[in-house]
Amino acid sequence: MSSASHTDLSLLVVSDPIPTVEAIDSIIPSLLSHFSEVKQRLPPRNNDRAQVHRKAGGLHDDISRTTSLPVESRRDGSSSNGRGGNSSKNEKNLRKTISDGEEAANDSLHDDQLCYQIERLIRDLSYVKDALDKNRKIEDSVGKLIKTLFERSKNAAFLGSAQAPTHGNSGKIQGQLSDLAEIVTKLKLHIPPSHKLLSSTSDASRGKQVADEFGDNKDMRDLAVEGKFLGSSVYEDLRATFERLDARSKLCLLCFAVFPENAKIKKRVMYRWWVGEGLIDSSNSEDKPVGDILKELVDMGFIQPVVKKRRMVTTSKSYTMLPLIRSVVVILAKEAEFFDFDSRGYPTPKFSKCLRSCLVRSKEASLQTAIRGSNLEQLRTLFNVNEPYLDFKVEWFSGMKNISSLSLGSWRGSKKDHIEVENTEFLRGMKSMKHLKLLSLQGISRITELPDSIGKLYNLRILDLRACHNLESLPDEIRSLKELIVLDVSDCYLLEYMPKGLSSLVKLEVILGFVVSDLKSGSYCTVNDLAKLKKLGKLGFRTSSKSFPTEKELRTLQEFNELRKLTIEWSENSTSEKDKGTESAGDDPIKSKCIAGLLPFKKGATRKPTTDELKLFKNLEKLDLLCYPSTKPPKWLTPDKLEKLESLYVRGGSLHHLCQVQEDKEGKGQVQEVKEWKVKTMRLKYLKELKMDWREMRQSFPYLVCLQMVDCPRLTLFPCDKNGLWLKEQFSESIYKRFTTQA
């Protein structure tokens, strides 16, 4: 562009300070024009740099195809040993083209970054102009910021020049643009969010709009932590949104402050913590459920649902919080003395004022230091954020007489997290914790057993022992935990049986990892002993018996009217003899892959169930079968016995088909005609023998909207993508629009 058409900011006369009217009518339009001209001087932006690499990749493929052809089949018909050297020459030309393309891509990277920075400046500055134009009653500081922006734009070397940038000064230019971007960000902080400018906008969406307008700005996080925006309209708006929450929802929100930035927090973690804090009471039918609280926080814009890439779901299992929002929540939590935070916004173990302490991996801060000069009896919550090595004293636990929530394990639930204890003597001090509602030891190594004193925790609601891989037994004293509603011993593969007293805990709603024992002697809890537990809504079994569940066990399960989710996991050695047409589970390497790390169980007896007349699981919504050992599906796996089933997962094992098969007189299997399933979501993983084509699948499962298959080589003609996922067409677009966060 010629210098004649260049906007010269030095010719523009401005007032000091700049009135809002002048900013709207003259200064900002001149800056927008100036930045637009700067953008035009840059080379065209590569909106998709991957195109260059795709072209290069295509050329690589051409080379591969050319060099892999037999000599006699090449286009010129020449041999590499003769005069025909065109192949080698063409290959060199192709490789040179690739090199030039990749070099061009690298050179354009800096230009792309400059384009992006300038485009963002133009977009943000346009937003400021429109906002000022709609509401001219903005603080005097706006004029000062615009004055600063104008002067720096005028004085910046490249921005004031009509010449295009060079590769050598791009770093300096990026620095200048970053300075300008920070000023524009501060300007945005003084502009009321759009809901205040549009009277038709609902008050409930104010936080969400702030998140949409500012959430992707990486600079906002530092501004929030440094306290530079405490007087801004953005902060005031988020605070006003917070004040609209009721007292319980406020406390639920403040719990999110202890998690690191961009952390993905499982719904299960929050539910259990809130129960421990006394914020949720599942026994009260009028109490707001965890799903409603999370939805409220999502609607207000404080948290966002996390959905895995191309995953069809209607409710999220995990949530995250934008850095800006977290910074505000940290400030609010610190003001409310909910937790203690350092100057960087990280939680600390100190609890002298806030009654809650965090275990953090830090040389400067430790629980032992926090205990000095503090009264342990006032501690209400102890939460492990990221401390991998736990070393407690018995007297510490004995002093925590009023603690209600004790989360020492991993909240991430990831196999990468390693937490271990020096010894377990400190657990004996729990006998004084009369008010404890939550005890989570999830994923902690070197815990082989729990002390008998656990029976003194009369108010315990949740006992989370998930993935305690060294745990060998549960004490009989567990029968004293009459208030228990959740027992999670999933992935505790050294457990051989469940204590008999478990059957007396009639308030239990969730049991995960229940071991169906095959011990020949001793007193232990069986499936039939669970008949009294009428409130069970979620059950997870682990068994070494191929015939599980038997007819008698099915009749017991039939009595659970509240049961919504059922998981059955068969161990690797789940058969003691080979039935007709049935392979040993141990012969299946795919299934071994499914349960890697699982120690073998003793072989169980094989019994044939007779369940033809049973009407089972009338309210069951989700069924998860892991490492199913037989080639034939269980006789109760039919749509007429599982009328409300919406999700069916089959992972690992020897299953050959999903439909029931009957033997004819000649001994040839015939697939029965069954009613249509109402299943909407299905996952099929590591099933090397499962055979079915897409037409058969659609006939049996016409309501299916989401299917995922992994390592199922005999499933044919399935229209799944490269990730093994199929989504019903009419659902895909709405799902992507609703959930944009990808894990």
**Tens-digit pLDDT profile for residues 38-90:** 777 777 655 444 443 443 344 334 323 333 333 333 334 444 344 444 444 44
pLDDT tens figures, 424-435: 999 999 999 999
Q: Report the DSSP beta bridge partners of residue 709.
A: 684
Question: What phi, psi does 162 have (nearest 5°)?
Answer: -90, 0
Task: Return the pLDDT at 673.
Answer: 54
* DSSP string of 634-698, one letter each residue: PTT-STTTSTT--EEEEEEE----SS-EEE-TTS-EEEPP-PPP---EEEEES-TT--EEHHHHH
pLDDT of residue 76: 41
pLDDT at res. 149? 83
As a whole number, mean pLDDT of residues 276-288 equals 84
pLDDT tier for residue 201 given thresholds of 50, 70 and 90: very low
| pLDDT of amino acid 729 | 73
Q: What is the end-to-end Cα distance of the chain in Å, rounded? A: 44
Please check the confidence at residue 628 and state whether its pLDDT lies above 50: yes
Give the β-pairing of 419-421 and 389-390: parallel
pLDDT at 247: 93
- pLDDT (tens digit per residue) in 456-492: 999 999 999 999 999 999 999 999 999 999 999 999 9
Residue 655: how many other CB atoms lie within 10 Å:
23
Whole-number percent of the chain with pLDDT over 90: 43
**Higher pLDDT pick, 153 / 706:** 706
pLDDT of 19: 76
Q: Which of 473, 474, 413, 475 shows the shortest CA–CA distance to 444?
A: 413
pLDDT computed for residue 381 by the predictor: 96
Distance CA 706, CA 312 (A): 6
User: Where is pLDDT greater, at 198 or 162?
Assistant: 162
Cis preceding linkage at 323, omega within 30: no
Q: What is the pLDDT of residue 598?
A: 40
Instruction: Tokens for 321, please give them.
Output: 């919080």
Return the CATH number of the domain spanning residue range 207-335: 1.10.10
Q: What pLDDT sits at residue 162?
A: 52
3-state DSSP call for residue 347? Answer: strand
| Structure-block tokens of residue 161 | 């020049």
Judged against a pLDDT cut of 90, whether residue 615 lies above it is answered with: no
Measure Cα distances from 14 to 8, 18, 37, 147, 182 in Å.
Answer: 13, 7, 21, 8, 22
Checking if the pLDDT of 514 tops 70, the result is: yes
Q: Which two tokens stand for residue 111?
A: 């230009």
What is the model's pLDDT at position 582?
37
Q: Which of 595, 604, 624 is nearest to 512 (CA)?
A: 624
Note the pLDDT tens digit of each residue in 369-416: 888 878 899 999 999 999 999 989 899 999 999 999 999 999 998 877
Sign of CA dihedral 444, 447, 449, 455: negative
> CATH topology for 388-536?
3.80.10
pLDDT at residue number 102 = 43
Bigger pLDDT: 23 or 97? 23
The better pLDDT of the pair 218, 236 is held by: 236
Can you give the pLDDT at residue 121? 78
| Mean pLDDT rounded to a whole number for the chain | 77
With beta carbons less than 8 A apart as the criterion, state whether 94 and 18 touch: no
- Of 12-16, 128-132, 314-318, 556-560, highest mean pLDDT: 556-560
pLDDT value of residue 159: 55
Question: Would the pLDDT of 213 be above 60?
Answer: no
Say if CB 525 and CB 553 are below 8 A apart: no
- pLDDT value of position 457: 96
Mean pLDDT for the stretch of residues 432-457: 95
Question: What are the domain boundaries of the chain?
Answer: 3-46+104-191, 207-335, 388-536, 556-743
pLDDT average, residue stretch 448-453? 94
Q: Which secondary structure element, helix H or strand E, spans residue 710, and what is its range?
A: strand 706-710
Indicate if the pLDDT at residue 612 is higher than 90. no
Cα 265 to Cα 256: distance, rounded to the nearest angstrom: 9
- DSSP E strands in 548-592: the ranges are 565-570
Give the model's confidence band at 194: pLDDT under 50 very low, under 70 low, under 90 confident, else very high.
very low
Taking the C-alpha atoms of residue 229 and residue 295, their distance in angstroms, rounded to an integer, is: 28
DSSP type of residue 26: I
β pairing state of 304-306 and 318-320: antiparallel
Helix (H) or strand (E) holding 329: helix 323-335
> Per-residue pLDDT for 727 more than 50?
yes
| Residue-level pLDDT at 590 | 40
Chain CA centroid to CA 107, Å: 37
Query: Token match 């505000």: residue?
Result: 328
CA distance 604 to 717: 38
List the Cα angle 128/129/131 in 5-degree steps: 65
User: Given this model, what pLDDT does residue 52 score?
Assistant: 34
- 335-352, pLDDT tens digit by residue? 999 999 988 888 999 998
Average pLDDT on 314-322 reads: 82
Q: Give me the mean pLDDT over the 588-601 stretch.
A: 41
Which residues lie across from 728 on neighbouring strands?
A: none
Pairing mode, strands 706-710 and 725-727: antiparallel
Lowest mean pLDDT among 124-128, 446-450, 707-711: 124-128
Burial of 27-42, coded b for 16+ CB within 10 Å and e otherwise, reads bbebbbebbeebbebb
pLDDT > 90? residue 99: no
For residues 145-151, give the mean pLDDT: 82
Q: Report the C-alpha gap between 519 and 429 in whole angstroms.
A: 33
Better-predicted residue by pLDDT, 205 or 628: 628
User: Are residues 42 and 111 in contact, defined by beta-carbon separation less than 8 angstroms?
Assistant: yes
Pick 631 or 592 by higher pLDDT.
631
* pLDDT band with cut points at 50, 70 and 90 for residue 668: low
Residues 6+ apart with CB under 8 A from 654: 582, 583, 585, 588, 591, 628, 629, 630, 631, 689
CB atoms within 10 A of CB 66: 14
| Selected residue with higher pLDDT from 211 and 87 | 211
Residue 307 has pLDDT above 60, yes or no: yes
What band does 674 get if pLDDT is binned at 50, 70 and 90? low
